[in-house]
Structure 1
């Protein structure tokens, strides 16, 4: 029977020797803390009367450019009888030529390879595939990134700078940027809007530009900062050939730390 080394190292991938034992079920899960790192989890439930050992894990899907495997390879997870264990996996890039598919997971279970459909009850992968493939098309027109962050005193907006560098190869419209669960934008009239309008048209002849975004905290409860997972992941509203869509753009990790520190200081509970 196939073993863990086959799961991890065979390019074509092993063929499962059969289904998991009766009582062992699997499910795809993604927590908020997984999103920024592009990770997820395979939840293994052991409904049998004995503990099981789960070694190598591989998730296949036509929408993936490659397979999803354990975030830390070489580990073995013991799932107690009647217990549940979440095994963290690293998601691969998306294959934008891939058709809608269904995930399959191959597990090294007590030294044998088993194969099973992997349900995605919250429909994580479909929208992720759509967003990332849209982002890839947008990147054909321009490189988008957060270039800098300038903190501000309490009561005044900070400045988050969005850098737009056209490629000269394609066109796109950046319609606006949405409020996150932690941050929003101060409008010119001093009001707060869920979407800060940008209305930026990117053409092949466009020059690089930087847009200063007036950032203010959306909330000031300390636990919102302490438990933040998605507060610095922004949604950009995009249009390609007149068709609207959304992509996500996250602040770099060092900038994320600067923003969270600023929120604490702005709100009066910083260290």
Structure 2
């Protein structure tokens, strides 16, 4: 077979024909695309929009004065441009035996547009056998209404950015296990030293009756508070073992002011919650022993007097 030889004019003609074919192809594609009516072409890909956001977002927090009181804050944020009135809020968490419920004493909570409000609510009993892989699940159910409209329900995920619920559930479970071994309270009396610079507060421990389980609790150490510190010449006890069925125990704790700035007492929230580092069974953590109203007043008076020359 012999090779075909193209002259210059033939090559030019072929090039022009190829270019015309390409132009015709793309023109046809553009024409078809322009003639495609609604519903006849490929479906458009939708992107998430602001309209998919829930009207109210829910977040868990806890104020400092709620520590040790089995209470939290539920923060409700209105994401819309209209005022909303919330008539109830309910959180469901596997960390607790029942739902965490808030209801207003009367009327409802008005949320202005684009603004948050927080409401306090008590925690129910903890569910101490919750599997770890489900412990962060948190669902919110809210009833709300726009002005002049009937209430509607909303179900959505809630957030707990600071781990408030796991921390509180862990502390409550630890306290429940510790109570099976012994009850612990602070003596309402306070023994102030002659020089007024230190004092002694007593931790009273009453072991539970031994029901045959022979459970024990260990106070591994005691932490200071924003208001109280360990007296320099009276170190606090460590590794104290408590057993069911044993006699009443008493720990004398020498204290001194941890701070003497002018706002130490006035701004105190948790300074009279004594944190014990304990271990009982397979749990360990902080067990906070609250001072009674009388003892709290005496501690405030002691700190104020001891800091008088500071």
User: So what's the TM-score if we normalise by structure 1?
Assistant: 0.82
Establish whether residue 183 from structure 1 lines up as the match of residue 224 from structure 2: no
Structure 1 residue runs without a partner (length 5+): 1-19
Query: Equivalent residue for 1:167?
Result: 208
Establish whether residue 117 from structure 1 lines up as the match of residue 117 from structure 2: no
Q: Structure 1 residues 116 and 66 mapped into 2: Cα distance closer, same or farther (>3 Å)?
A: same
* Number of equivalent positions: 246
1:237 aligned to 266, 273, 277, which one? 277
Partners of 1:149 and 1:259 within 8 A in 2? no
Query: Equivalent residue for 1:53?
Result: 85
More strand by share: 1
How far is 1:155 from its partner? 4.3
Partners of 2:54 and 2:156 within 8 A in 1? no
Distance 1:53 1:71 in 2: 12
How far is 1:55 from its partner? 1.2
How far is 1:149 from its partner? 3.1
Q: What SS is found at the alignment partner of 1:25? A: strand
More helix by share: 2
Structure 2 residue runs without a partner (length 5+): 1-51, 146-150
Q: Structure 1 residues 104 and 187 mapped into 2: Cα distance closer, same or farther (>3 Å)?
A: same
Where in structure 2 are the equivalents of 1:68-107 lying within 5 Å? Answer: 68-70=100-102, 73-99=105-131, 100-107=135-142
Please tell me whether Structure 1 or Structure 2 has the larger radius of gyration of its CA atoms: 2
Distance 1:185 1:71 in 2: 43
How far is 1:54 from its partner? 0.9
Distance 1:77 1:243 in 2: 39
Where in structure 2 are the equivalents of 1:1-271 lying within 5 Å? Answer: 22-70=54-102, 73-99=105-131, 100-110=135-145, 111-152=151-192, 155-169=196-210, 170-188=215-233, 196-240=236-280, 244-268=284-308
Distance 1:242 1:24 in 2: 39
Mean Cα displacement is larger for which, 35-44 or 151-160?
Answer: 151-160
Partners of 2:196 and 2:305 within 8 A in 1? no
Name the structure, 1 or 2, with higher relative contact order (CA <8 Å, separation 6+): 1
How far is 1:102 from its partner? 1.9
Mean Cα displacement is larger for which, 119-128 or 129-138?
Answer: 129-138
Partners of 1:161 and 1:210 within 8 A in 2? yes
CA RMSD, 1 decimal: 2.4
User: So what's the TM-score if we normalise by structure 2?
Assistant: 0.72
